[in-house]
């Protein structure tokens, strides 16, 4: 074979690394837009039009309310996209801010034995290993830090200690208000206070 197929040079979006035609399905189309307008204006004709309209609108505005010549400069600054504080999850969903609360759940094991799990203490800046030690000491049972579902750590305490764990938590860690402690009863969240 004399002829070698040459590798196709594919342009990838500078923002999301996808081929530009897939930017619209990418993680953050909005952020890609400036890059797209600059580098592949013919791919999304609508975008360019949109941008031009915006520019035009801006120019008109400037004409209206600027008398000093520095107008063009601040127009450019305002068109820069604002930094978004929220972290985006893949799929465009915005991550919810974690609610600060302690959830206590009793899990029955072997019919008459149970385990009390405490979730969410770490949100109050409590060191889980310390907390499990304290809990174990106070109730004279085994208490351990375990990886709960979805990579979250929780404390498992042997035995049913739900009766006075609330008091204990509020006493040992004053940062934890009683109002943010919840029990799970029959799959429902019940405030402890």
Partner 1 sequence: MFKKFSSEEVSAQNQVKASVQRKIRQSIAEEYPGLEPVLDDILPKKSPLIVAKCQNHLNLVLVNNVPLFFSIRDGPYMPTLRLLHQYPNIMKKLQVDRGAIKFVLAGANIMCPGLTSPGGALDEEVEAETPVAIMAEGKQHALAIGFTKMSAKDIKAINKGIGVDNLHYLNDGLWKMERLD
41 sits near partner 1 (criterion: CB under 8 A)? no
40 sits near partner 1 (criterion: CB under 8 A)? no
**Could you say which of 90, 149, 174, 187 contacts partner 1 (CB under 8 A)?**
90
User: Among candidates 27, 10, 28, which has minimal Cα distance to 19?
Assistant: 10
Token output for 32:
């890609």
User: Among candidates 118, 120, 113, 152, which has minimal Cα distance to 135?
Assistant: 118
**Could you say which of 14, 15, 17, 45 contacts partner 1 (CB under 8 A)?**
17
5 sits near partner 1 (criterion: CB under 8 A)? yes
Nearer to partner 1, 3 or 186 (CB): 3
What lies within 8 Å, CB to CB, of 157 at 6+ separation is 115, 116, 117, 118, 132, 135, 136, 139, 141, 142, 143, 165
- Using the contact rule CB under 8 A, the part of the chain among 8-16, 107-115, 150-158, 160-168 near partner 1 is 8-16
In angstroms, rounded to a whole number, what is the distance separating the alpha carbons of residues 53 and 43? 18
149 sits near partner 1 (criterion: CB under 8 A)? no
Question: Rounded to the nearest whole angstrom, what is the least distance from the CB of residue 39 to partner 1 in the complex?
Answer: 15
Q: Which residues bind partner 1 (CB under 8 A)?
A: 1, 3-5, 7-10, 16-19, 21-22, 25-27, 90-91
């Amino acid at each position: 074979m004399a002829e070698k197929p040459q590798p196709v040079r594919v342009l990838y979006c500078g923002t999301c690394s996808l081929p530009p035609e897939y930017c619209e399905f990418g993680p953050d189309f909005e952020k890609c837009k400036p890059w797209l307008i600059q580098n592949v204006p013919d791919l999304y004709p609508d975008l360019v039009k949109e941008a031009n309209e915006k520019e035009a609108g801006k120019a008109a505005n400037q004409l209206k309310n600027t008398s000093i010549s520095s107008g063009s400069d601040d127009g450019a600054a305002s068109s820069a996209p604002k930094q978004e504080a929220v972290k985006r999850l893949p799929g465009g969903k915005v991550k919810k801010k974690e609610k600060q609360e302690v959830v206590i759940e009793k899990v029955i094991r072997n019919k008459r034995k149970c385990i009390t799990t405490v979730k969410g203490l770490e949100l109050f800046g409590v060191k889980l290993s310390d907390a499990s030690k304290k809990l174990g000491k106070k109730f004279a049972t085994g208490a351990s830090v375990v990886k709960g579902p979805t990579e979250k750590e929780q404390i498992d305490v042997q035995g049913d200690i739900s009766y006075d764990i609330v008091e204990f938590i509020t006493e040992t860690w004053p940062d934890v208000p009683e109002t943010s402690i919840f029990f799970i009863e029959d799959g429902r969240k019940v405030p402890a206070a």
